[in-house]
Structure 1
Amino acid sequence: MDVIKHVTWDALRRLKRMKLYTTGSRRKRMNHTYRMMAVLTIAAMVASGCSMGGPKAAQADLQIRQVKTEAVAKQNIGTPTEQVAEVTAVNVIDVVPKVNGEVIEVIKNRGDYVEKGEVLFRVDSKDAESTVRKNELSVKSAQDSYQKAKDDQVNNRKDLADGVEKSKIALTNAENDYNKTRNEFDAGTSNQHQVDLAKQQVDTARMNLESAQNKLATNESNNSIVAAENQMKSAALALEDSSRSLENYSVKAPASGILTDFTLVPGQNVSSSKVGQVQQLDPVKIKTELTEASYQLVKNKKELVYYNPDTPDKKGTAKISYMSPVMSAQTKSYTVELEVPNPEHTIEPGSRVMVQLTTESEQSVIAIPSLSIIREESDAYVFVQQGDQYQKRKVKLGRINGQYQEVLEGLKEGDQLVVTGQNQLKDGQKVDNQAAVPTKSTDKATK
């Protein structure tokens, strides 16, 4: 009670010094009010002092808190940051028939796995088959014509060559007769008329030889065989084209993968337009959209960890095949794509997986107790013991987990961080060795 009276009258004296007393009725009301305020204040102080062990404990609580420091260390700030992503095929190839007609047989169904070159369905090909048979006959006819032209050329050449030889012999005989007649004319046993006749026979034989030689040369360069050969080649090309066209009536898979968007039935007419798609399964693509904050976590990475939510213990690593350098104006996000080998086809397009934007090791970061941070408007500061003085540092903060907060900039491991009493320090203040107590932190951030 002595303590209460002492403090009560002490409070009243302070009120007087503040010139809060007035005169008259107003003075009485004010005195009553301030007395009540003083009593309530002292009652609270006494109650607090009693709960902590009496007046001495209350007085100790009013003393300046002791400055304590601890070494800055890495803490587990939480689990890896994850995001849902969609699995898609790297390549999706359209199934487009090259012919028009009625579907007579459907071999594969939607959802089937198909190998490249497998027949998916068949189109009525009667007209195409008829064209192939006609072209086969044309090829046979052209081949016969070509062979006949070759045989004729061989036979004609023999006859013409024989004619040339005969003409040579006839010319030689005519020249011999002419020389004999001239000798007889010189001997007086023949006349001029006989010499002229012999000369005429020589000229005739020479012209017959030239004619035979010209015919032989003409036969050698005769283009009838060339024309027959060209006709045969043209018929062969027509047969090849029609045969290839006939193959198009059996529509095949353009690649290996899952057949999708395929709903053909027999009797349906098709044209040269898409009737389905083949989604290639090896490799597959994992695609997701990132916010600005998430993009900052992965922008310098080459690969990310992914896993199926149904089997979280089985994780894989995939290379980043594409990362958009700028934010999309429509979605306000960044596109990231991973390419994953899928030889066993265990990852199906259309499924969803979880992608870890950070790893387990990245969650171990420099973190400090949130209560050691001094906040001044939008900035954050801490005090560290640097030698024989306390230094105020500006820090850049990151994630929060429980009582710890990540420090992105401003501190490093081993720095002596002031964890209590920092609010009573000034930048550059000397260390009081009796008041400063280094401590070893054993608290860890919750996972």
Structure 2
Amino acid sequence: MSISNSNKRVKRRARTVSIAVVLAAGIAVIAGCSSQPKTEGAAETAANANQVAAKTVKVAEIAKIQIAEPLEQVADVLASAQVHIVAKAGADVQQIMKKRGETVKAGDVIVALDDTDALLQQEQSLLSRESAALSLETGRKQWESNLAKMELALSEATKNYNKMKNDYDAGLVGKSELNQAETAYTTAKSDLALLKETGVAGLEMQLKASQLSVVLSERALANYEIKAPISGVLSELTVQEGMTISPGFAIGEILQIDPIKVKTLLSAQAANAARGKTQLQFYVPGSSSMYTGKVTYFADVVDTQTNAYELNLSIANPDKALKPGMKVQVRLTEAAEEQVVAIPTLSIVREGADSYVFVLNGDKAEKRKVELGRLNELNQEIISGVKAGEKLIVSGQHQLSDGEQVNVAN
């Protein structure tokens, strides 16, 4: 009885284990079938996401900035003209009319010389002219009288010659008498022609020569007043009253400072910046006044000695505020000229010797080659390749390729 019951319990346990094994196997099969499609779908979704995902970038609008301060060059203030005053006559200095440092005008008398000898020469030339005029008047009257006499003599000689020809034809006179009458006629005619030809030409020439002497004496007399050849400041005066000077002696110097001249020497780069301008501004360091000068000379060829291009400006200086010897700063460019298209230097992608940037075009990154200009701290001037107003990619550009789709970060 106990054995039978024990066998029955063993059989029941075996069936229970078999059923559990079968159920476990079925559950595993079902679970495997249901999990396989889910794993494949997740992988496919991830792959698609990788294909459409775009890189996130940051952009900034390209603008113009002042890349540098206006270009300036130091210059010298000079007299626009520097003229030596030279005596044209030799004499004693009689009077000094102007002082050194005075402002003079062209034509002002600076020094008066003793003109006694010059006055005597002028008086002599005036007398010679009067004498020549009188001689001409007398000579013309004499010539007119001689002319009348010769015309009368020719008339008589003509009548006599004609009468002799008639008498010779009639046999009343001989050949010798006819020849004498013909000679008298020919001589009278020749003398009259010569008198008319010469007239009073010699006396007229004498009068012209005496008139020219008067003019020369007047010019010589004018040289005894030494006058300022130009307007300006009498910067030098080297004579004293009573001093004897000779022709060609330099008595002083005049500096013309209205207008005044500004001169500077430019490097090739600075010359290119100012080339083509007709006016330039300049100022005296430490002063708030700004002047505008007219370009009067700009060398086209570099000076081999200074290796620079000379530039000259001219400006009116009525108040004499600008003086020779001063230094000024000439502005070769204005602030507006320094406003250029510039971008952050970190946005530039460098490939060998070439430089590129990425510009946002729609939702894509467009690769552009750019030409670089001046550098100002963190900004780089762009000469060509982009323009103001375009959207520049400033972050993430090093991982981009041309035409790649991007997302713009907020």
CA distance in 2, matches of 1:301, 1:215: 78
Which deviates further from its counterpart, 214-223 or 411-420?
A: 214-223
**What does residue 4 of structure 2 align with?**
none
**What does residue 404 of structure 2 align with?**
430
1:220 and 1:396, CA in 2 relative to 1: closer, same or farther beyond 3 A? Answer: same
Pick one of 227, 251, 255 that aligns with 2:230: 255
**Structure 2 residue 335 is the aligned partner of structure 1 residue 360:** yes
Is the contact between residue 295 and residue 312 of structure 2 (CA under 8 Å) also seen in structure 1?
A: yes
Is the contact between residue 259 and residue 279 of structure 1 (CA under 8 Å) also seen in structure 2?
A: yes
**What does residue 187 of structure 1 align with?**
none
Superposition TM-score, scaled by structure 1 size? 0.63
**What does residue 285 of structure 1 align with?**
261
**Structure 2 residue 92 is the aligned partner of structure 1 residue 105:** no
Letter in 1 for 2:200: I
Letter in 1 for 2:404: K
Deviations 1:167-196 (A, max 9, x none): 7888999999x89xx9xxxxxxxxxxxx96
Is the contact between residue 92 and residue 278 of structure 1 (CA under 8 Å) also seen in structure 2?
A: yes
CA distance in 1, matches of 2:159, 2:383: 115
**What does residue 294 of structure 1 align with?**
270
Letter in 2 for 1:265: Q
1:105 and 1:73, CA in 2 relative to 1: closer, same or farther beyond 3 A? Answer: same
What SS does the aligned partner of 1:245 have? helix
Is the contact between residue 285 and residue 329 of structure 2 (CA under 8 Å) also seen in structure 1?
A: yes
CA distance in 2, matches of 1:107, 1:136: 29
Deviations 1:307-337 (A, max 9, x none): 4456535443x44333333443332332222
Alignment of 1:284-433 (within 5 A): 284-309=260-285, 312=288, 314-316=290-292, 318-340=293-315, 342=316, 344=318, 346=320, 348=322, 350=324, 351-373=326-348, 382-387=357-362, 388-389=364-365, 391=367, 393-400=369-376, 403-422=378-397, 425-428=399-402, 430-433=404-407
CA distance in 1, matches of 2:406, 2:197: 121
Alignment of 1:22-421 (within 5 A): 67-160=57-150, 210=185, 213-214=188-189, 217=192, 220-221=195-196, 223=198, 225-266=200-241, 267=243, 269-281=245-257, 283-309=259-285, 312=288, 314-316=290-292, 318-340=293-315, 342=316, 344=318, 346=320, 348=322, 350=324, 351-373=326-348, 382-387=357-362, 388-389=364-365, 391=367, 393-400=369-376, 403-421=378-396
**What does residue 50 of structure 2 align with?**
none
Deviation at 1:124, TM superposition (A): 3.0
CA distance in 2, matches of 1:420, 1:204: 133
Is the contact between residue 167 and residue 212 of structure 1 (CA under 8 Å) also seen in structure 2?
A: no
Deviation at 1:143, TM superposition (A): 2.2
**What does residue 35 of structure 1 align with?**
none
Letter in 2 for 1:252: K
Superposition TM-score, scaled by structure 2 size? 0.68
Q: Max radius of gyration: which structure? A: 2
**Structure 1 unaligned spans of 5+:** 1-64, 183-194, 439-447
Deviations 1:349-382 (A, max 9, x none): 5144332121121232223335545678987665
CA distance in 2, matches of 1:120, 1:308: 33
What SS does the aligned partner of 2:200 have? helix
What do you get for the CA RMSD once the two structures are aligned?
Answer: 4.2
Question: What is the aligned residue count?
Answer: 352
Is the contact between residue 56 and residue 406 of structure 2 (CA under 8 Å) also seen in structure 1?
A: no
**Structure 2 unaligned spans of 5+:** 1-54
What SS does the aligned partner of 2:94 have? strand
What SS does the aligned partner of 1:221 have? helix
1:328 and 1:170, CA in 2 relative to 1: closer, same or farther beyond 3 A? Answer: closer
CA distance in 2, matches of 1:334, 1:204: 93
